[in-house]
Amino acid sequence: MKSISDNALMLKVKAGQLAALGLLFERYKKILFSFFYRMNADQELSEDLVQMGCERILKYRKGFKGDGDYKVWMFHVARNVNIDHFRNSSRFKNEDIQNFSELSDGARYVDETMGRDEELNILKLALDKLDHEKKEVLVLSKIEGVKYKEIGQVLNCSEGTVKVKVFRAMQSLKKEFLNIQKTV
């Protein structure tokens, strides 16, 4: 069944063959969970948001055109689920960055004497200080490995705009990291 493309499966779901959504769910449940967990650092909430995301995909299946990449459409839906959840709950939790270490790999601003755990803790604190938009773009690009072009489609902006957003988010992260590092 792996040979059937994501778009073909979603077009089947759109046509009323709802069993195809189960295959898409199996393919993407870990990716969606990872996205939500990194945005929220709450396992139970992330599991709930994955389910809400699948429900929303089912609800809005008629909106899938099939001319773009399913993964981009899915992340667009997931992003809206996350935003709606926090708009409704009016709370924003910190994210887990254990696998976000590539941000600091080889970074010139990291003290060579600093231990890896301490570096990750400072990086987490710095990331926690970023606004939601900057966190989101870093999670999508650096953790989830979503290409800039696809992030642009999710955020409804150009690839160039995404590059600028990632650059600015990284600059803000670096600034926060250095400020925290000075106090430690």
Separation of alpha carbons 183 and 163, rounded Å: 31
Its pTM stands at 0.62
Mean pLDDT of 121-144: 85
Pull the structure tokens for residue 106. 């080889």
Predicted local distance difference test score (pLDDT) of residue 98: 41
**In this structure, what DSSP letter does residue 61 have?**
G
Distance, in Å, from the CA atom of 160 to the CA atom of 164, rounded to the nearest integer, reads: 6
Average pLDDT across the chain, whole number = 82
Residue 175 pLDDT more than 50?
yes
Three-class DSSP category at 171: helix
Q: Is 129's pLDDT higher than 70?
A: yes
pLDDT at 95: 38
Q: 137-166 burial, b for 16+ CB within 10 Å, e for fewer?
A: bbbbbbbbebebebbbbbbeeeeeebeebb
Half-sphere exposure of 7 (CA within 13 A, CB side): 6
pLDDT tens-digit map of 36-54:
988 888 899 999 999 999 9
Task: Check residue 143 and give its pLDDT.
Answer: 75
53-92 pLDDT, tens digit per residue, is 999 999 999 999 888 889 999 999 999 998 888 777 643 3
Give the pLDDT score at 169. 93
Q: What is the pLDDT of residue 4?
A: 85
Contacts by 88-92, CB closer than 8 A, 24 or more apart = 92/132
Confidence of residue 102 (pLDDT cuts 50, 70, 90): very low
Q: Round to whole Å and give the CA distance between 74 and 66.
A: 12
